């Protein structure tokens, strides 16, 4: 067994990944109802003002502000109610001095009115209403264009369409948008011991876990997972799979990236292209590989489920977001106390999975081959290379999954 040439630190590996990936520039048009989570390819520019009219912001009465000056609960101003206006309706005509219109939230400000008195400060008395508190011009009114003005770039190219941004586009009657195509990512599980779900296992065999966990990470980061199946530990099969993967936007292989005599993946990538790093100074996930074949980035992830998924969160997810044109994802973190003493003796940066309960983090890591090390975790703590021990009660930062 040959050792790894050199173990690379996490930050250097992330830099190399970023330097060798570019956003996929293929563009497609999708209906607005399918646009959530997609990356906009061109600015969405407003063709009209929003709101398109001066809009009543409260239920009450559209008035001339000067008619309310001096009003109090003991000395109210009496105005004649000459009509009623609901949302979606427009009062025909204008109010005169001493007159008002009953209005609903969202309805246009009646002609002649310059403000709205909230219904809470009024008392209806037949054809008249008593105004018990003064208002000033533009009170309780959303002026035309207060939200969006004609020519505004409401959502800019490169932004991810959140529910709120989709709503802004709907307010502008934008029914379809140009977005970047989702990159297609080929997923392979390597190893003669791996079997697909739904078949009976023979002694020494295990089910394919990694293609499913990787598919989820890929989908969550704006790309399309394409599960290509299981690749046996034979040079011809691995070479064929790597060549096939180079026809996708990204290729991800799990298993076959260590330095065992049967692990042919690394030398296949090196023979067909270039290995940019192989071996990371992290635990779990030491045997991770990243390379290029015919211009396509190829990841070799560890075969152990916890190692594979852990490194997918740390290294694969940023790569996926860059391919998709999405901005980097800022990790969600929480500061808690350590629930038990942890000794780190690996000489590598360690990703320690933890469950968080009542402000306390409890380690749940078992072994790299145990998927429950991740399934039972709320997040993970990064333990630096030079850290020997974390004491019980010590404050730590948990990166939430």
Q: Which domain holds residue 364?
A: 333-400
1, part of any domain: no
Q: Is the same domain home to 306 and 251? A: yes
Domain CATH number, residue 220? 3.40.980.10
pTM: 0.84
Q: According to the 3-state scheme, what is the secondary structure of the chain?
A: CCCCCCCECHHHHHHHHHHCCCCCCCEEEEEHHHCCCCEECCCEECCCCECCCCEECCCEEEECHHHHCCCCCCCCEEEEEEEEECCCCCCCCECCCCEEEEECCCCECCECCCEEEEHHHEEEECCEEEECCCCCCCCCEECCCCCECCCCEEECCCCECCHHHHHHHHHCCCCEEEEECCCEEEEEEECCCEECCCCCCCCCCEECCHHHHHHHHHHHCCCEEEEEEEECCCHHHHHHHHHHHCCCCEEEEECCCCCCCCCCHHHHHHHHCEEEEECECEECCCCCEEEEECCEEEEEECCCHHHHHHHHHHHHHHHHHHHHCCCCCCCCEEEEEECCCEECCCCCEEEEEEEEECCEEEECCCCCCCCHHHHCCCEEEEECCCCCEECCCCEEEEEEC
Q: Is the same domain home to 228 and 315? A: yes
168, part of any domain: yes
Q: Is the same domain home to 136 and 187? A: no
186, part of any domain: yes
2, part of any domain: no
350, part of any domain: yes
4, part of any domain: no
Q: Is the same domain home to 299 and 388? A: no
Looking at residue 365, its pLDDT comes to: 74
Q: Is the same domain home to 302 and 200? A: yes
Domain CATH number, residue 33? 3.90.105.10
Looking at residue 169, its pLDDT comes to: 98
Domain CATH number, residue 128? 2.170.190.11
pLDDT in tens, the chain (401 residues): 355 568 999 999 999 999 999 999 999 999 999 999 999 999 999 999 999 999 999 999 999 999 999 999 999 999 999 999 998 999 999 999 999 999 999 999 999 999 999 999 999 999 999 999 999 999 999 999 999 999 999 999 999 999 999 999 999 999 999 999 999 999 999 998 999 999 999 999 999 999 999 999 999 999 999 999 999 989 999 999 999 999 999 999 998 755 554 468 999 999 999 999 999 999 988 999 999 999 999 999 999 998 999 999 999 999 999 999 998 888 899 999 999 999 886 689 999 999 999 999 999 876 655 677 778 899 999 999 988 899 999 999 999 98
**Total domains present in the chain:** 4
208, part of any domain: yes
């Amino acid at each position: 067994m040959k050792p790894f040439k050199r173990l690379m630190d996490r930050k250097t590996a992330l830099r190399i990944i970023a330097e060798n990936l570019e956003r996929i520039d293929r563009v497609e048009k999708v209906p607005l109802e399918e646009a959530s989570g997609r990356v906009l390819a061109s600015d969405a520019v407003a063709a009209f003002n929003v709101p398109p009219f001066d809009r009543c912001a409260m239920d009450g009465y559209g008035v001339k502000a000067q008619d309310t000056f001096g009003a109090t609960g003991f000395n109210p101003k009496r105005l004649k109610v000459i009509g009623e206006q609901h949302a979606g309706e427009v009062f025909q005509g204008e109010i005169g001095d001493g007159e008002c219109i009953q209005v609903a939230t969202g309805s246009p400000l009646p002609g002649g009115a310059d403000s709205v008195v909230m219904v809470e400060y009024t008392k209806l008395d037949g054809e008249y209403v008593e105004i018990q508190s003064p208002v000033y011009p533009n009170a309780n009114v959303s002026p035309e264009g207060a939200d969006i003005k004609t020519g505004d770039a409401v959502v800019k190219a490169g932004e991810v369409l959140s529910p709120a941004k989709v709503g802004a586009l709907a307010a502008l009657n934008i029914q379809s948008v140009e977005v970047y195509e989702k990159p297609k990512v080929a997923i392979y599980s390597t190893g003669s011991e791996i079997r697909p779900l739904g078949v009976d296992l023979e002694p020494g065999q295990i089910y394919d876990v990694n293609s499913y966990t990787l598919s989820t990470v890929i989908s969550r980061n704006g790309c399309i997972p394409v599960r290509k199946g299981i690749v046996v530990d034979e040079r011809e099969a691995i070479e064929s799979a790597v060549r096939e993967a180079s026809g996708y936007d990204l290729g991800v292989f799990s298993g076959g990236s260590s330095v065992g005599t049967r692990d042919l993946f690394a030398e296949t990538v090196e023979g067909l292209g270039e290995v940019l790093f192989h071996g990371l100074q992290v635990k779990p996930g030491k045997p991770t590989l990243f390379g290029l074949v015919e211009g396509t980035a190829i990841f070799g992830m560890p075969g152990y489920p916890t190692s594979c998924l852990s490194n997918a969160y740390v290294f694969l997810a940023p790569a996926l977001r860059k391919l998709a044109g999405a901005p980097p994802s800022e990790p969600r973190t929480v500061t808690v106390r350590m629930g038990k003493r942890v000794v780190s003796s690996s000489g590598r940066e360690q990703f320690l999975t933890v469950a968080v309960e009542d402000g306390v983090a409890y380690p749940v890591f078992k072994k790299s081959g145990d998927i429950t090390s991740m399934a039972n975790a709320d997040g993970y703590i990064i333990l630096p290379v030079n850290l020997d021990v974390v004491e019980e009660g010590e404050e730590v930062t948990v990166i939430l999954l």
